[in-house]
Amino acid sequence: MSNSKLKQDLIKLLGKEKVLSQDLDLLYYSYDSSFLTKLEPARPDAVVFPKSTEDVQKVVSYAYQNRINIIPRGAGTGETGGCIAIQGGIVLDLSTWKEIIEIDVNNMQVIVSPGVVHAELNDELAKFNLFFPPDPGSSKMCTVGGMVANNASGLRAVKYWATEPYILGLEVVMPNGDIIVTGGMKARCIKNVSGINLTKLLVGSEGILGVVTKIRLRCFPKPRARGIAMAVFDQLDDAPATVMEVYQAGILPSGIEILDSSAIMAVNDFKPEIKLPDAEAILLFEVDGNPPSVEYEGQVIQEVAGRRARSVEWATDPQRMVQLWEGRSVTAAAAARVRPDGSRIFAGEDISVPISRVADTLRALRKLAEEHGIQIVNYGHIGDGNVHTAPVINPEIPEEVEKVMGFVHDVHLLAIEMNGSTTGEHGVGVVRKVYAELEHGPAVEYMRKIKEAFDPAGIMNPGKVF
């Protein structure tokens, strides 16, 4: 079908103001935050801005009849090319459909449309002393729909885990235009084991099984107190050992972050006034809860970490907490500056390994970087084994791009070798689908069968995940 016919049809369905098809407008939609789309941007044939389930249904039904691909998109902060029309088609930009439909305080849940931004939702929930705990670093930009599709999480996954356990039900426009509600048509309960759990199947399915148009999610009471501990280590292995000893002491912090020597150096170069101690590793513990429990947990962490660390500092004063955490807050930006002519790229940045193998993984990453001649900065969510590696290259130099792609491939193989996963939170999208068989074996065939059952015409976000 010609682009002008497609545009006319979409305007007939939704009205002119909800359709984009000018070349220049479409260019923006060739990218997300992945390095892949910097190398290979892919322009969609059209972009639409649905503002209701009916809008989504109209477009999906039309696409189904005409065998046109549909690509759901939130804020485009994904790191994997997941929302890119790599095989052409219509992008459904859901980021302008931001409606907090109902905050059901008594039942500790909220119903939202997919374009609501994570931080904005938590600002509203805070008025009722509630919060939605998963906390991606992109909180101020990413949509709840994108978080559902990618099962996003963040540094508090140690205690609060990822998006999935909070999703009680979804409204989904299926690839043939049908509308289903998972988790019970009329349900407002929190506990529910009725039927095959389609909600769980859809969360993390990266937009390849349907378009999420409504989300019913569970909220938690907002913790009233917080504390931060910083522990400084001369030996890398002492950092993961301390994490395990803190757990064994009966403490579950809300977050435990690691900066290795490469990250410490990057932060000190970027902002010397932060003055991170020169060390092999720094651990940052975050504890939350009620004031007496936070104090108690802080005491235990100081005592346990003090056995191996050169120094430990504990703070509950808001200003001091910000200072202790500042090194971690600026790590991503600092990584981008370690080479004046370089930029930090998002590729191979999200491996997940067993906590007991984090130190080995960090050493292996340094060795791989040396072998490939790539500069890297390492940090991550050590409390759950999610290691973020930031390769820094000059992306305008083809030889550097070639070298880094070799490095990234080895990083993904390393993750599987370490009994881990190629992705702890960012997802598979286009960039990691080649590892599906290696990581999951024959299970991939059953993933394909599920995809075919949901989407026999193969129009829903094709070319992603496997």
Ligand X SMILES: Cc1cc2nc3c(=O)[nH]c(=O)nc-3n(C[C@H](O)[C@H](O)[C@H](O)COP(=O)(O)OP(=O)(O)OC[C@H]3O[C@@H](n4cnc5c(N)ncnc54)[C@H](O)[C@@H]3O)c2cc1C
- Rounded CA separation 239/180 (Å): 47
| Amino acid residing at 45 | D
Closest to ligand X by CB, 33 vs 254, is: 33
For ligand X, the binding residues in 108-137 under the rule CB under 6 A are 114, 136-137
Closest to ligand X by CB, 73 vs 412, is: 73
* Least distance (Å) between residue 238 CB and ligand X: 26
Nearest CA to 407 among 360, 367, 368? Answer: 368
- Rounded CA separation 71/236 (Å): 43
212, 258, 287, 411: which one contacts ligand X (CB under 6 A)?
Answer: 212
Binding mask 162-201 for ligand X (x = CB under 6 A): ----------------------------------------
44, 89, 133, 145: which one contacts ligand X (CB under 6 A)?
Answer: 145
Alpha-carbon Rg for the chain, nearest whole angstrom, is 23
| Amino acid residing at 383 | G
By CB under 6 A, residue 76 contacts ligand X: yes
Task: Spell out a b/e string for 155-168, using b for 16 or more CB atoms within 10 Å of the CB, else e.
Answer: bbbbbbebbbebbb
E-strand ranges in 116-166 read: 130-131
Closest to ligand X by CB, 209 vs 279, is: 209
By CB under 6 A, residue 289 contacts ligand X: no
- Contacts with ligand X by CB under 6 A: the residue count is 37
For ligand X, the binding residues in 82-101 under the rule CB under 6 A are 82-83, 94
Q: Looking at 7-15, 145-153, 182-190, 303-311, which segment touches ligand X (CB under 6 A)?
A: 145-153
* Least distance (Å) between residue 415 CB and ligand X: 16
- The secondary element (H helix, E strand) that includes residue 227 is strand 225-233
Q: Looking at 177-185, 223-231, 422-430, 440-448, which segment touches ligand X (CB under 6 A)?
A: 422-430
Nearest CA to 163 among 197, 181, 136, 184? Answer: 136
Backbone angle region of 161, left / alpha / beta, with phi > 0 → left and psi within -120 to 50 → alpha: left
By CB under 6 A, residue 389 contacts ligand X: no
Closest to ligand X by CB, 207 vs 227, is: 207
| Amino acid residing at 253 | P
Check: CB of residue 50 under 8 Å from CB of residue 94: yes
| Amino acid residing at 442 | P
Contact residues toward ligand X (CB under 6 A) are 32-33, 71-79, 82-83, 94, 114, 136-138, 142-143, 145-147, 149-150, 152-154, 206-207, 211-212, 425-427, 429, 461
